[in-house]
Structure 1
Amino acid sequence: MAFATTTDGIRLFYETAGTGTPIIFVHEFGGSHWSWEPQLNAFARRHRCITYAARGYVPSDIPREVDSYSQARAADDIIDVLNADGIDKAHVVGLSMGGFAALHAGLRHPGRVLSVVAAGAGYGAEKAHEDYFRGISEQVARNFQEQGPKVFAPIYAEGASRVQFQDKDPRGWRLFADRLAQHDPLGAANTMRGVQMRRPSLYDLEAEFKRMEAPTLVMTGDEDDHCIQPGLFLKRTIPRCGFAVLPKAGHTLNLEEPELFNRLLAEFIAQVEAGRWGPRDPRANPAQIMRTN
C-alpha cells in the first residue's frame, strides 16, 4: 500500500496504474479511491493513472479536528499525492466534491495542472441556496455520526440526483451504497463540515476563474439540477472551458454513464494534448443571434 504524507502530516492512501501522461482522479463525498475503477480500467492503457482516498476516508488518516479539513487543503492534497508519486504535472479529474477540489487546484497550483475536469460540481454554489445547503450539510454530518453509515448510507444514496444511477444500474448502485456504508462516521462528518459547508461559492471566485488558464471541461447530468446553472457559469467565466450535459443523467456521472464519461474525457485530453482546446473564438459573440453585415 502506498501513502503520501501531506504538508500538514496527514497520510493519504493512493494507488496507481499504467504509464503515460498522468491523470489524477479525485473522488466525491459519497465515494473514495474505489470510485474510479471504470476510468482506471480504460485510461491506464495509455496514461499514468492515480487515485487516492481523501483525508477522512479509510485507509487514509482520519483527522479528529474539523479544522484539518478545508477546500484549500483538499486542493493542496492533490499536489501532495502527485509529489509522492514523483509527478510534476497531471490532468486533474474530479467529481462533485472532487470537482471543486480540481477547480481549486487549477486556481492554486496552475503550474502543476495540465487540465481540469469538474463533473457534477455545483452543490452549494447557487447563491440563493447557500444557507439551505449549509443547513442540510450539517444534518447529513449529524446523521453519519448519530445514525451511523450503515443506517444512513442507503438514505443518502437515494437522493434526487442518485436515483438515476439506481434505475439504470441497480447492481452498480448497490455496490456504491454498500461501500458508502463503510465510510468512517467521523471522517464523513468532518469532511461535510470542514470542506462542504465552508467552501466558497463558485460565483464568489469569478475574478479568479476569469484568469484561470488551464483547459477545463465541466460535465453535468441534465437531472443534476443544482449543478446545471453553476456549470453554465463556469463555461461563461473560465476562458478555455467546455460544457458537456449528459442526457437523462444524475450526479454519479462516472459510474452511472461510464462509457459516455470516458469518451468525453478521452476526447478532451486528446484535444488538450494536441493544443486544440483554446479559448472561445471572439467572433462567437453570445450577444449575437444572427449576423447581418
Structure 2
Amino acid sequence: MDHFDLVRIKLSTGVELDVATMGDPTHPAMIFLHGFPESHRTWRHQLPAFARDHFVIAPDQRGFARSSKPGSVGDYAPQHIVADLIALADHFGIARFTLVGHDWGGAVAWLAALREADRIERLVIINAPHPLLFQRSLFDDGAQRAASQYITAFRNPQFEDHVERIGLGAFFDASFRPHADLDAMAAEKSVYLDQWSRPGALTAMLNWYRASAVIVPAMDEVPPRPAFLDAPFPPLTMPTLVIWAMQDGALLPVQIDGLDAYVPHLTLTRIEAGHFAPWQAPAAVNAAIRAWLADGMADGMAG
C-alpha cells in the first residue's frame, strides 16, 4: 500500500485540509480532487507517475478523512468547495494549474472550470458528468434516473442511522460491491474504515449530496422541467480531457453524448473500467493523461 506524507494546511476559507504533495514545486502544478467516499488515496497510482515532471497536490477535501468537517449542510455547497480549491492553489502560490477530478471531485472541477477559468490551464475529468448534461439526463433518460436513485437515499436524514445499524464494514461492502472487486480492495478496506470512523465523517461526506442543487426525480415522478435545461449554457474555454470508464454503473455513457457542444476543446477517451477508474485501470488512465499532456505541449510549441 503506497504511503503519502500529508501536510495540514489551514485555508483562507476557514477549513483545514490534509494534503498530499509530491514533486518539484517549480514544475507545472496538477491538483487532483477525489470524490465520494474516498480521499487523496484515489490518486495513489497517479501522484508518483506525474510527480516526475509536475508538482502534484491531492487534498482530502472538506468533510473527508481527517480534514475539517463543518457542521452545516450549507457548508458543503459546491461554491465552498471551489473556494477551497482556489485557496489551496493560492497557498502554494500557484497562479494556473492543471485540474484533475473524479466523481464529486470532477463535479467540483467542472464548476471551477466554469467559474475560475483564468486559474485553470487544463482540465481532466474522469467519470464525472457535465452539470447541465447530468441534470438533463435525470429528466430525460430513464436508465440514468434509475442509476441515480441512491442520491435520494443519501439525502435521507436517517441514512446515518441505517449505517450505524448495519455497521461501517457492511456499508463499505454495499458501497463498492456494484463497482469493484471487494477481494482486490481488501488491503485498502482498513484505510476506508479508519477514515469513515472519524467523528462526523459519514455525515460530512453525505452532506455533499444534501447540499447539491441537483434534482433527482423519483422513477414515477413527472416534475416541472427547469427552464435552464433547454437554455444556452456557457462553453468551457480550456483544453479538456474527459476519460470515461464505460462500465460505470452509476454514471452511464449517456453523460458523454453531446458533450462536445459544451466543451469545444474536448478530447474524449473511452476506457474499459468501472466507476473507480483511477485505481481500477491506472495504466489506462495515466496513459490517456500523459498522451494528452504531450499533445498539448506539442501544440504549444507549434504555436
Please give the range of the TM-score, normalised by the shorter of the 2 chains.
0.7 to 0.9
Query: What is the alpha-carbon distance in structure 2 between the residues aligned to residue 2 and residue 205 of structure 1?
Result: 43
The residue aligned with 1:268 is 292
Equivalent position to 2:138, from 119, 127, 136:
127
Q: How far 1:207 moved relative to its partner?
A: 3.7
- The answer to whether 1:235 aligns with 2:241 is no
Distance 1:50 1:263 in 2: 19
Q: Which runs of 5+ in 2 are unaligned?
A: 1-6, 217-227
Amino acid at match of 1:154: D
1:264 and 1:106 map into 2 onto residues whose CA distance is 20
1:223-262 equivalences under 5 Å are: 223-225=247-249, 226-247=251-272, 249-262=273-286
**Alpha-carbon deviations, 1:92-119, whole Å to 9, x = none?**
0001111111111110100100111111
Report deviation, 1:206: 7.4
Q: 2: CA distance between counterparts of 1:133 and 1:69?
A: 23
**TM-score normalised by the chain length of structure 2:** 0.78
Q: Is the 8 A contact 1:218 1:242 kept in 2?
A: yes
Identity, % of aligned positions: 22
Which residue in the other structure is 1:3 paired with?
Answer: 9
Instruction: Measure, in 2, the Cα distance between the counterparts of 1:205 and 1:66.
Output: 29
Specify the alignment match of 1:146 in structure 2.
Answer: 162
CA displacement at 1:49 relative to structure 2:
0.1
Q: Which deviates further from its counterpart, 68-77 or 14-23? A: 68-77
- Counterpart for residue 93 of structure 1: 100
1:137/1:192 contact within 8 Å kept: yes
Residues 104-153 of structure 1 show CA distances to partners (whole Å, capped at 9, x for unaligned) of 11101001001111111139542336876775223235434531433312
User: Corresponding residue for 1:286?
Assistant: none
Provide the rounded CA distance (Å) in 2 between the counterparts of 1:209 and 1:14: 32
**Where does residue 177 of structure 2 map in the other structure?**
158
Contact 2:38–2:64 (CA under 8 A) maintained in structure 1: no
Q: Deviations over 1:203-232 (max 9, x none)?
A: 84974442x111001111111253312123
Between 50-59 and 143-152, the greater mean CA deviation after superposition:
143-152
Q: Verify the 8 A CA contact 2:97 2:120 in the aligned structure 1.
A: yes
Give 1:28 deviation, angstroms: 1.2
Residue 63 of structure 1: aligned partner: 70
- How far apart in 1 are the matches of 2:161 and 2:112? 29
Amino acid of the structure 2 residue aligned with 1:127: L
State the aligned residue count.
Answer: 265
**Alignment correspondent of 1:35:** 42
Structure 1 residue 46, shift from structure 2 partner: 0.8
Alignment check: 8 A CA contact 1:12 1:81 kept: no
Cα distance in 1 between the residues matched to 2:34 and 2:229: 23
Which residue identity does 1:242 align to in structure 2? T
2:239 corresponds to 1:215: yes
Counterpart in the other structure of 1:103: 110
Query: Match of 1:287?
Result: none
SS of residue in 1 equivalent to 2:32: strand
Deviation at 1:18, TM superposition (A): 0.2
Q: Is the 8 A contact 1:25 1:52 kept in 2?
A: yes
| Cα distance in structure 2, aligned partners of 1:205 and 1:98 | 26
Shift of 1:275: 3.0
Measure how far apart 1:15 and its partner are.
2.2
Q: Is the 8 A contact 1:32 1:53 kept in 2?
A: yes
Residues 144 and 45 (structure 1), Cα distance of their counterparts in 2 relative to 1, 3 Å cut: farther
The question of whether the paired residues in 1 share the 8 Å contact of 2:11 and 2:84 is answered with no
The 3-state SS of whatever aligns with 1:110 is coil
Where structure 1 has 5 or more consecutive residues not aligned to the other structure, the ranges are 278-293
Find the counterpart in structure 2 of residue 282 from structure 1. Answer: none
What is the TM-score of this pair, normalised by structure 1?
A: 0.81
